[in-house]
Amino acid sequence: MPNGTAAAATAGSARLLLLLRRHGHPQAVRSIHRLDPSDPFPGTLGTRRVDWKASCAFLSSKAAAGPDSSSDKPLSPSGDPPAADPEPDDDGKGGNHRLSAAINGVRTAAAPISNLPRPLTIADLSPAPMHGSRLRVAYQGVPGAYSEAAAGKAYPNCEAIPCDQFEVAFQAVELWIADRAVLPVENSLGGSIHRNYDLLLRHRLHIVGEVQMPVHHCLLALPGVRKEYLTRVMSHPQALAQCELTLTRLGLNVTREAFDDTAGAAEHVANNGLRDTAAIASARAAELYGLQVLADGIQDDSSNVTRFVMLAREPIIPRTDRPFKTSIVFAHDREGTSVLFKVLSAFAFRDISLTKIESRPHRHRPIRLVDDANVGTAKHFEYMFYVDFEASMADTRAQNALAEIQEFTSFLRVLGSYPMDMTPWGAPSSSASSSTNPPPPPPSSSAPPSS
């Protein structure tokens, strides 16, 4: 055999071996024998040259057509696998844009349409519940608490998750156990709930909304118990203070006992069968724990409203098409009242109304020492200042005000910019306090979308 023919035969065998191994034909590979170029009679190797070429053509056509193909394609005159069939061009410029393509002479199947990436829609940009179809909202207390009613008003049809402490509600959102948290920050009679202001600074959650809940207290006891039999009343300390005058007017000579929350006091009376003890809680708590309402609406002031904030892991995008409120906290390390005056002036100059100013001792630096040659060493408290103002962070006035404040404060943080709750305080609350899933608010309500 001439050297050129032997070399071509050897190269063709190598290509065939590679092709067969690539497409998983180990048995066929073992049936191929390599020709010896020095053998003058190649037919004596057990397979005549004609038979050998026929076998190669058959195996090569099978590999090129694929394992599931039932048709045989002949080899090209050069012995190489046949080229892929030409496919029509989409744009007429020679580029093939179809998913199927010929790779090494083997046609690849088109990718299933279901595996293709789905185009991004506006719904993908809207925050969605992370635990199924219902939003999970954490609140402090037990079922029947006012915080549970506030969670239902803020997020209708949500899954309310009770937490025994405010701290737990914060952590539930941070650890993705809950999607939101609804927690009280102030009451129109009792003032600020300082614990939650401290937790707002300690945790990295964002205020995404607010909701105001009128408080409607009831005097609850076990069925059959009369007011004359009572010797003790238990509830949250603020609830006891808010009903002090009414309890006296009812002629109740009872001791007051503080409890963690209003609904928890009702649960405690029911579970322990305390027939000499009443609880101050909501009408929904009476329904849940099988208690009777001895007196309805026993709060001393009818305009008793608690403000709750809605917390999330991510902030919402502020807007200017509806009333917004922004909450900030700042600190300064200068002496005197000049810095606080400058902060207030930054808002007053731009006609921005402030709805709240709250000062809290600096947790890490509660005391500052000042040397004075005349009176010795004086001790002053370091304060953090919480401010709520009626403007959106999308408003240029608010942006300029914060830019000015940042120049003379040592610390400034935006806790959230969110829609205001415009619900009138005099609106009835019995429906909201009796169910965690009240009807959705009207379009004018300030309850923001799940965010």
Enumerate the active-site residues: 306, 308
What's at 56, amino acid-wise? Answer: C
The b/e string for 47-70 (b: 16+ C-beta within 10 A; e otherwise) is beeeebeeebbebbbbbbbeeeee
Alpha-carbon gap, residue 269 to 290, rounded angstroms: 10
Alpha-carbon gap, residue 359 to 387, rounded angstroms: 9
Tokens of 115: 């595996």
Instruction: Decide: residue 254, CB within 10 A, 0-12 exposed, 13-18 middle, 19+ buried.
Output: middle
Residue 300, phi then psi, degrees to nearest 5: -70, -30
β-strand partners of 281: 218
What's at 75, amino acid-wise? Answer: L
Strands of 277-281's sheet, edge to edge? 255-258, 232-235, 277-281, 218-221, 292-296
β-strand partners of 311: 181, 207
Alpha-carbon gap, residue 107 to 66, rounded angstroms: 8
- Taking phi over 0 as left and psi of -120 to 50 as alpha, with beta for the rest, 13 belongs to alpha
Strands (E), 222-361: 232-235, 255-258, 277-281, 292-296, 305-312, 324-331, 354-361
Alpha-carbon gap, residue 385 to 394, rounded angstroms: 22
End-to-end CA distance of the chain: 81
